[in-house]
């Protein structure tokens, strides 16, 4: 190596190290972002352990108190909120919708990614276009009338059925199947005489499993958070957790600590899932983004 | 998972085929059928359900919008009367202005902050995953919860934000009371929840930019700022467009935050509709005033609004990063 080459090499690696290391400004930005992201959530859990008198202190309390138990008891015994019913209903709705969306999306994703059929490009394009349309807000009047006609208003079916399919899910599974399943694998199975459904069960499903997990988490979260449609179509005595909180807010809006206990309880299941599968969720989001 | 899968029934060959082994012929026939037809079976559940719960309501909404429509009663065809009335309805335009105002007020800072944050997350630092998870925490928090917590933080008498402002001798603000303050409060709720998500999406795109580009630029003496504007931003263009699309749809259908900010789900959006959005307007017309035809017409106008908004944003974002 000549002296010049050596020096150039040195400069390059120095530059390489230098530009990718986090400087003090980066660290400040990240620390600030973290504090801002975490604070309202932290505050919510703190308030759930306090009394209403303490909640009105100026400045407000920032450390946990000892009243969590009584707040929880009060929350679950508040009659006009039906909080426990709401939690159970939300779990039923979210699980059903998640299973359906993931299943239907893997079927369609398999077809779009790995099978050749007439019109597949147009059909996939159609799904992408409809992802851009806010169908839910657009269709509330006919959907409501449909539910009235079927006699389903106030029932969980009414908040499950409209969400059983999801264009985003099909899109994500198509992307995932395209890169996760080599064409040769499908061809080899065909040569061995496997039918399309056998290929789906034995080749596609195992390969899609990580992608399915991420999709399941996203759909679960989205369904758990659904607010507008349940507010319209369900009755107050048979709510989902989000409308139950809205009812609490309306009837006991000044009972901050109970309200906060309710919101804390409503996000806790999602947080547990997030802590357990955080790495996969971040990975899945990032993969989906690059391919979009 | 115990999911039941229906295999499409193989076509039965005729009772007596003249040629060859029956078995081979039959399986060949099945294989051909399988190749041709099964893909349609696979995509049919999606399109079937989508037709019922997506396409049908969309078309039917238009039909309803041409009527004076009562749920279990009269349905009188009135042509475009609902639309004409809507166009001259001050309350509707107020909702449109609120929606667009809060959309702009939330989206612009949100995407700018997301870019800065993504750039920071892209640096080498210990505990990367921890930071990434940290900025995604708000996304996991449900919108209703976010709205409840922020509404309390913005409370006039005991809210932390007014307390903080009082340290700088600012008088207590009644955030619900005025347009600008309500818009600010609601926009911060949106931004708090979505900035981290957008940052993660942008970060993913940043990581696909070849590092050589930056290293070459650094050797040529380009500053970090210059690299950001001349390399990062242009390379991120498709992803920025994607995030703008997502924000446009989310922003123009804004509902949960302003409803919860009000406390009473009357859909009024404040005493004089300071923060009533179009989505709230639609729900109010349909399910509080039972004027379904009017609500349906408003829903179609919202759709048109989103189309226009998306197109404007698209043509605007296309120009990012000095492309021709």
**Residue that is written with structure tokens 């758990």 in the block:** A224
User: Which chain B residues are closer than 8 Å to A133 by Cβ?
Assistant: 58, 303, 306
Q: What is the pLDDT of residue A40?
A: 92
Q: Is residue B101 scored above 90 in pLDDT? A: yes
What is the rounded average pLDDT of the residues A124-142?
79
| Nearest CB neighbour to B38, from listed A23, A196, A292 | A196
Question: What are the tens digits of pLDDT across the range A141-160?
Answer: 888 888 888 899 999 999 99
- Comparing C-alpha atoms, which of B188, B306, B298 is closest to residue B247? B306
* pLDDT on residue B185: 94
Extract the tokens encoding B281: 């307007």
Q: Could you report the per-residue pLDDT of B275-322, keeping only the tens digit for each?
A: 999 999 999 988 888 888 999 999 988 888 888 877 887 777 777 655
Structure tokens at B304: 């048109």
CB contact under 8 A, B149 and A225: no
A78-251: CATH number? 1.10.3720.10
Q: Per-residue pLDDT averaged across B120-140, rounded? A: 88
pLDDT of residue A8: 54
In whole angstroms, what is the distance from residue A171 CA to residue A105 CA? 8
For residue B82, pLDDT beyond 90: no
- The token pair at A86 is 């709401």
Distance of CA A9 to the CA centre of its chain: 46
Nearest-angstrom CA–CA distance, B248 and B47: 25
Contact B68, B297 (CB under 8 A): no
CB of B61 closer than 8 Å to CB of B296:
yes
**Per-residue model confidence as pLDDT tens digits over B55-77:** 888 888 888 889 887 777 777 77
Give the per-residue pLDDT at A87.
Answer: 94
pLDDT at position B15, please? 44
DSSP B76: E
What is the pLDDT at residue B1?
Answer: 37
**Mean local confidence (pLDDT), B99-126:** 91
**Whether B100 contacts B314, CB under 8 Å:** no
Distances (CA, A) of B8 to A100, A286, B11, B38, B143: 20, 36, 9, 7, 42
**Tokens 């986090």, located at residue:** A22
Yes or no, beta carbons of A120 and B71 under 8 Å apart: no
Q: Which fold has domain B84-322?
A: MetI-like fold (1.10.3720)
List all residues 6 or more positions away from B265 whose beta carbon is below 8 Å from its beta carbon.
A231, A246, A250, B259
- A chain contacts of residue B211, beta-carbon cutoff 8 Å: 16, 20
Which of A37, A115, A253 lies nearest to residue B263, judging by beta carbons? A253
Give the pLDDT of residue B10.
46
pLDDT at A157: 93
> What is the C-alpha to C-alpha distance for residues B242 and B313, in angstroms, rounded to an integer?
11
Task: With a cut of 70, say whether residue B161 has pLDDT above it.
Answer: yes
CA distance B178 to A173: 45
User: Tell me: the pLDDT tens digits for B250-277?
Assistant: 888 899 999 999 877 788 888 888 999 9
- How far is it, in rounded angstroms, from Cα A225 to Cα A136? 14
- Region A68-91 average pLDDT: 88
Which pLDDT belongs to residue A39?
A: 92
Q: CB–CB of A82/A244 below 8 Å? A: yes
- H/E stretch holding B224 reads helix B224-227
Enumerate the residues of chain A whose CB falls inside 8 A of the CB of residue B58.
133, 135, 138-139
pLDDT at position A41 over 60: yes
Contact A164 B49 (CB under 8 A): yes
Q: Is the pLDDT of residue A264 over 70?
A: yes
More confident residue, A256 or A6: A256
User: Domain coordinates of chain B in residue numbers?
Assistant: 84-322
Asked if A102 contacts B17 with a C-beta cutoff of 8 angstroms, the reply is no
pLDDT at residue B241, as a whole number: 82
Token pair in block for residue A1: 């190596």
Query: Where residue A11 falls among pLDDT bands split at 50, 70, 90?
Result: low
pLDDT of amino acid A93:
96
């Amino acid at each position: 190596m000549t002296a010049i080459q050596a020096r150039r090499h040195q400069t390059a690696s120095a530059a390489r190290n230098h530009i990718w290391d986090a400087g003090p400004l980066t660290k400040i930005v990240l620390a600030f972002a973290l504090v801002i992201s975490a604070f309202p959530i932290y505050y919510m859990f703190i308030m759930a352990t306090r009394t209403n008198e303490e909640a009105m202190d100026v400045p407000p309390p920032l450390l946990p108190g000892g009243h969590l138990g009584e707040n929880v008891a009060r929350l679950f015994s508040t009659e006009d909120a039906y909080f426990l019913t709401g939690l159970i209903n939300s779990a039923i709705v979210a699980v059903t919708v998640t299973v359906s969306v993931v299943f239907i999306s893997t079927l369609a994703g398999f077809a779009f990614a790995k099978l050749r059929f007439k019109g597949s490009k147009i059909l996939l394009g159609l799904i992408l276009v409809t992802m851009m349309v806010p169908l839910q807000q657009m269709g509330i009047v006919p959907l409501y009338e449909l539910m009235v006609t079927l006699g389903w208003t106030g029932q969980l079916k009414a908040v499950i059925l409209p969400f059983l399919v999801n264009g985003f899910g099909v899109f994500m599974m198509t992307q995932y199947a395209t890169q996760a399943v080599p064409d040769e694998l499908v061809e080899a199975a065909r040569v061995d005489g496997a039918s399309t459904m056998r290929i789906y069960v034995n080749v596609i499903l195992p390969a899609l499993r990580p992608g399915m997990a991420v999709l399941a988490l996203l759909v679960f979260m989205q369904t758990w958070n659904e607010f507008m449609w349940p507010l319209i179509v369900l009755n107050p005595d048979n709510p989902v957790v989000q409308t139950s909180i809205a009812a609490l807010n309306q009837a006991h809006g000044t009972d901050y600590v109970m309200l906060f206990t309710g919101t804390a309880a409503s996000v806790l299941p999602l947080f547990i899932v997030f802590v357990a599968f955080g790495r996969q969720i971040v990975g899945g989001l990032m993969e989906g983004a690059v391919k979009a | 998972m115990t999911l039941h899968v229906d295999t499409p029934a193989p076509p039965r060959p005729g009772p007596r085929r003249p040629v060859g082994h029956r078995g081979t012929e039959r399986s060949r026939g099945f294989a051909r059928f399988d190749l041709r037809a099964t893909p349609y079976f696979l995509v049919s559940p999606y399109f079937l359900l989508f037709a019922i719960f997506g396409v049908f309501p969309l078309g039917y909404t238009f039909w309803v919008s041409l009527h004076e429509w009562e749920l279990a009663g009269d349905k009188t065809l009135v042509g475009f009367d609902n639309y004409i009335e809507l166009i001259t309805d001050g309350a509707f335009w107020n909702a449109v202005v609120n929606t667009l105002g809060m959309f702009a007020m939330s989206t612009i800072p949100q995407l700018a902050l997301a870019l800065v944050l993504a750039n920071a997350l892209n640096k080498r630092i210990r505990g990367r995953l921890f930071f990434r998870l940290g900025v995604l925490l708000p996304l996991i928090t449900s919108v209703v919860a976010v709205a409840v917590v922020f509404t309390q933080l913005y409370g006039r008498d005991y809210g932390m934000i007014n307390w903080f402002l009082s340290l700088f001798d600012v008088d207590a603000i009644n955030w619900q009371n005025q347009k600008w303050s309500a818009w600010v409060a609601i926009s911060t709720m949106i931004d708090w929840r979505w900035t981290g998500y957008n940052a993660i999406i942008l970060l993913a795109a940043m990581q696909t930019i070849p590092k050589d580009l930056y290293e070459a630029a650094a050797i040529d003496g380009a500053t970090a700022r210059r690299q950001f504007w001349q390399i990062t931003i242009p390379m991120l263009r498709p992803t920025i467009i994607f995030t703008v699309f997502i924000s446009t749809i989310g922003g123009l259908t804004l509902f949960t935050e302003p409803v919860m900010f009000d406390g009473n789900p009357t859909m009024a959006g404040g005493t004089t509709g300071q923060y009533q959005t179009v989505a709230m307007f639609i729900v109010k017309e349909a399910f509080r005033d039972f004027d379904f035809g009017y609500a349906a017409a408003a829903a179609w106008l919202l759709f048109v609004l989103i189309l226009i908004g998306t197109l404007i944003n698209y043509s605007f974002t296309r120009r990012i990063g000095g492309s021709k």
